[in-house]
Amino acid sequence: MLLKNKNAIITGCNRGIGKSILELFAQNGANVWACVRKPDEEFAHFMQQLINRYQVEITPVYFDLSDYEQIKTGVKTIISEKKNVDILVNNAGVTYNALSQMTTMGKMEEVFKINFFSQYLLTQYVTKLMVRQKSGSIINIASSAAIDANSGRSVYGASKAAIICASKALAEEMGDKGIRVNVVAPGITKTDMVSESMTEIVINETISSTSLKRIGLPQDIAGAVLFLASDLATYMTGQVLRVDGGLGK
């Protein structure tokens, strides 16, 4: 129960890493605003199961990260509940693989809009609430690609590198206000996003380059996020925690 009675905002909760974070946070006593793009019957059933099992509050909040007005409306919905916001997890994002010369300006703008600008905006709104409370923990999900600069991932990696830079700067700005900001950088992880964007050959090659010789699971990433969100990490801020099985070591 590392997050008992804490209130958390998590984006991209309906699948992959976000879904595992939601489940682990509920298991540890957190009440969650589960942010997703649109209503989904299967996800609604999943949330209700967590509510029944762990006796926590899970409230869906619907907005598309590509629409800044929807983000603003979503935050207003959260504010209207007049509760502390103890944790923000910026998890939602898109992936993109292409060589630099094959990448259009439109695709660059799309990737950065989802992976950086929208999350920066959401964080601006939420930090205003946290400053009033003089407490809070923000965890941003980046990628090992932001650090390793892999071929074919220049735009995706750059968007995640922007998240890392912004997180470190925000950690410095918000430290004296009781707000911690950290980053989790996953390696290859078994999600729909990975299977949709990488061939089986590339996936297997990447797995073989890890020290642990296995693909990461969403639960592996969720555990790191839980640690950073909890009081176990009260003296950690401005850090990038790689969770990649020893990728490229």
Scan for tokens 């925690």, then name that residue: 241
Q: How far apart are CA 89 and CA 14, in angstroms?
A: 14
Closest CA to 139 of 126, 154, 153: 126
Of these residues, 96, 120, 156, 235, which one is catalytic?
156
Count of CB atoms situated within 10 Å of the CB of 169: 12
What residues does 90 pair with on adjacent strands?
A: 140
> Helix (H, G, I), strand (E, B), or coil: what is residue 1?
coil
| Beta pairing class for 31-36 and 87-90 | unpaired
Residue 101 identity: Q
Count of CB atoms situated within 10 Å of the CB of 43: 18
Q: How far apart are CA 143 and CA 186, in angstroms?
A: 5
- Contact present, 115 and 163 (Cβ < 8 Å): yes
Q: Is 120 a catalytic residue?
A: no
| Beta pairing class for 7-11 and 31-36 | parallel
Greatest CA separation found in the chain?
51
Q: Which residues are catalytic?
A: 156
